Structure 1
């Protein structure tokens, strides 16, 4: 079935165009999932089931278990281990903020041919269809090295190989927590906790009002520090690029690689162009 209505790039139209879009998008779907998962039509129970079946989450948890196992083989003293874990938890929101703001929302990656596919996969697709679970999670070949680089060197400097393993495991587990809350923010579910509800409201504003702020997922401290945090939604100031991150049909004429991979440039609100 067609996934989205788009402005075609080049001569591919009609049935051939729809077929190609379907084939490209279905290629990223885990084979054991019998259907697409749209969070705006899922219950909390359905999310729990799908979440722990997703390959990326399985990969994070498996790598964390291996890192913890290796820690017991190459242990570090208690104090350096505790410090490495604490620093990893503290630095994670800052790393996420920087990556989200200056990499995922960059307007330079789609201009580079060999980076266009990566940018499309890691964030452009998510803003095009915010509630589709299959493209909400990051790809392991990009996330695992990033988590390792953000945590393991810090742990190593604090307490050697053992503390590096503890820091890396902390980053992996923290990623799982972040990803689950990210799912909750897109889920058709009203949180019972006020802080979760406010967190969800900020993220929904990021996706449906103005993508140039509220870069945090569970922590908006760095948004407040760097003045990218906002609560009040002014309808007259809604971003025109909230769904395409600045990759407009006009931009695609000059930098066509993402459009070629996507079968076109989708425009308009997701609810108006993506039948679930």
Structure 2
């Protein structure tokens, strides 16, 4: 028997990167997987790879109305959740004097407000014994230049792991957070940096990691599945840092 047989899980931003790798691992472990994302083409591609039982829903993680619509769509189909990985997010960087209100609002709308209100909307659908995993970041800990807004948004999610755990435990729902360091995903290609500068940035980041490499989406997925399974039944409100030692050594 597989770990997630007869279980239903939700992965926001499950159409690429860490989200897709996690959704794929859930599916391999027997789960019925629901993924969300904003791009219909990548949602369709991901769904095809996840199997016939997968559900792919176009959804804007930064839109509170969309959060309510997601909950209504699932409820209308009689779907309840055994686990959810809140992975959808944006990463925008810039020095203090270059940050504008638009960057601030987009980052906090998607990473913080969207996550919070989606959890709120979905709370009635979580089964007793369900697990929520939030996708944080080591940027909340290391004080990297130009990451102030992004880091603050991820620090908020880490705080949610504690406060929401206290609120949801009476319903039998655990909340934890996984905080990746540098992971090899398409995210780096969407930073708007020229290829030569991107390669230089990647090399510089890698030199700061004691393991001397980027992590993989599959490694993060393994941690998410652990935090979503009964194997971690005594783990509540905690943060699992996965950064190859970058913030520890």
Q: Give the TM-score normalised by structure 2.
A: 0.27
Q: Flag the structure with larger Rg.
A: 1
Taking CA–CA contacts closer than 8 Å with sequence separation of 6 or more, which of the two structures ends up with the larger relative contact order?
Answer: 1
Higher helix share: 1
Q: Give the TM-score normalised by structure 1.
A: 0.25
Higher strand share: 2
